[in-house]
Amino acid sequence: MRKLLLGTTILGLGFGAAEAQTLNILMESVPDTRFVEELLPEFEAATGIDVELEVVNYAEMHTKLVPQLVSPTGSYDVIVVDFYWVGEFAKAGWLQPLDERIAADGFDTSVYFDSLQDLVGQVDGEQLMLPFYNYAMGLTYRHDLLEDPAEQAAFKEKYGIELRVPETWDEYLQQVEFFTRDTDGDGKNDFFGVVNQGLRPDPIAMEWSNYLFANGGRFHDESWQPMLDSPEAVKAVEDYKRNLEEFGPLGAASFGFDEAFNVAAQGKAYSYLTYNMFRTAYDDPSQSAVVDKMEIVAVPNGGLNGAWGWAIPNSSPDPDAAWTFLKWVESPEIAKKRAMLGGSPTRKDVFADEEVLAKYPYYPALENLLATSHNFPVFTYTPQFVEVLGRELSLAVTGEKTAEEAMQTANAELEALLKQDGKL
């Protein structure tokens, strides 16, 4: 547990004075949590409220949260909610609607991207969360190789088209094939066109979703009818398996996102479809050998959206102080400071800020990720569906099932879960 016990001086900087009290907040161990932690002394100075921040790994969060959420009075005043859990938490009635507080204080929610409001903001017309940070997925690639005249000439000779930032999925797949090569002449590829995060269930399910969207596929139609047995979904599995087996490093079928990132960051791969937060990490010399060589763009046809939201549980011991914190942490000033530290913002005004753009010139590309991204199915049984999808994709990758068999099973089990939830 990481504790931050702050003082009780009350300056009342626009947030209202409060008696000495302590907020308990549970958060995941990710960079954006660290940036919030760095800024907490400012919250103390403005409000006089102490903060005890408990930071845990993702795998522990749901297990720790649920007993607190079902209790009449829990341990946490504020929580962060992954989009996986939104359907479950909302249906169970564990989150306090924020609409009255928002209206009373004139808090502007129009600054959030619609895609993020749909994912970790509003549920059935109620504002249950404020979007915290986004982890939309994009295509990271070696722009220095794309801009190399020798590579451009060789690519055009082989494929008859220009080597450029890929605008179509087929164009990207050709680049993956082209850049896979044996650089030391020992007969084995040691530079790869792509590195994948094939670990089941979550890493492969999230990454493969980009392949699905890139091929024009969808998880379900507007009426929630599953579409995972479509030709587009089957081809997405075949594309994924081919990239993993023919154009990626040995062992990638068991890589999580850290292992996959390390391959790309050490200059061993042309591309990696990953969470946008890693774009900043590529330029950190302490963890990257490809500083100033990697760039990020949206996946052709749009990639996978992802985000966390701030929420006040109904079991919160001090919901008023919790709302004071939410107003502060999502204020324009603090959201900008978090972005300047390297965070992944959810407010449109942060993406338009001149100081932020000067420090991170790739922000327009990140904004485009959010504008073009697609949401994963969000319903009560999203976590169970991730398990199903990860299992079936892994069976297809290892050859234990054909792509068609895997997608037929995933489609049938998605349908069953949706019927159980009342969506169908």
Query: Do 295 and 336 sit in the same domain of this protein?
Result: no
Query: Do 385 and 368 sit in the same domain of this protein?
Result: no
How far apart are the C-alpha atoms of 60 and 78, rounded to whole Å?
17
Q: Which of 165, 189, 185, 188 is nearest to 175 (CA)?
A: 165
Task: Using the 3D structure, point to which of 372, 393, 409 is the last residue of a domain.
Answer: 372
Query: How high is the pLDDT of residue 21?
Result: 86
Query: Do 202 and 252 sit in the same domain of this protein?
Result: yes
Query: Do 154 and 288 sit in the same domain of this protein?
Result: yes
Query: Do 148 and 197 sit in the same domain of this protein?
Result: yes
Contacts of residue 73, defined as CB under 8 A and 6 or more positions apart, other chains included, come to 315, 317
Query: Do 44 and 170 sit in the same domain of this protein?
Result: no
**Inside any domain, residue 175:** yes
Query: Do 290 and 151 sit in the same domain of this protein?
Result: yes
Domain count, the chain: 2
**Inside any domain, residue 72:** yes
Query: Do 267 and 169 sit in the same domain of this protein?
Result: yes
Query: Do 258 and 406 sit in the same domain of this protein?
Result: yes
Query: Do 107 and 190 sit in the same domain of this protein?
Result: no
pTM for this prediction: 0.90
CB 66 within 8 A of CB 12: no
CB 92 within 8 A of CB 115: no
Full pLDDT tens readout for the chain, 424 residues: 333 333 332 333 344 444 448 999 999 988 899 999 999 999 999 999 999 999 998 889 999 999 999 999 999 999 999 999 999 999 999 999 999 999 999 999 999 999 999 999 999 999 999 999 999 999 999 999 999 999 999 999 999 999 999 999 999 999 999 999 999 999 999 999 999 999 999 999 999 999 999 999 999 999 999 999 999 999 999 999 999 999 999 999 999 989 999 999 999 999 999 999 899 999 999 999 999 999 999 999 999 999 999 999 999 999 999 999 999 999 999 999 999 999 999 999 999 999 999 999 999 999 999 989 999 999 999 999 999 999 999 999 999 999 999 999 999 999 999 999 999 9
What does R_g of the chain's alpha carbons equal in angstroms? 22
**Inside any domain, residue 201:** yes
Residue linked to tokens 């449109």: 348
**Inside any domain, residue 1:** no
How far apart are the C-alpha atoms of 317 and 213, rounded to whole Å?
42
Query: How high is the pLDDT of residue 335?
Result: 98
Q: How far is CA 316 from CA 69, 212, 305, in A?
A: 8, 39, 29
Q: Which residue type sits at 305?
A: N
Query: Do 395 and 247 sit in the same domain of this protein?
Result: yes
Query: Do 230 and 259 sit in the same domain of this protein?
Result: yes
**Inside any domain, residue 26:** yes
Residue 292 exposed, middle or buried by CB count within 10 Å (0-12, 13-18, 19+): exposed
Neighbour count for residue 60 (Cβ, 10 Å): 13
Query: How high is the pLDDT of residue 11?
Result: 32
**Inside any domain, residue 196:** yes
**Inside any domain, residue 227:** yes
| CATH code for position 352 | 3.40.190.10
Summarised one tens digit per residue, pLDDT across range 332-382 is 999 999 999 999 999 999 999 999 999 999 999 999 999 899 999 999 999
Residue 319: which domain range? 20-128+307-372
Query: How high is the pLDDT of residue 108?
Result: 97
**Inside any domain, residue 8:** no
How far apart are the C-alpha atoms of 210 and 274, rounded to whole Å?
9
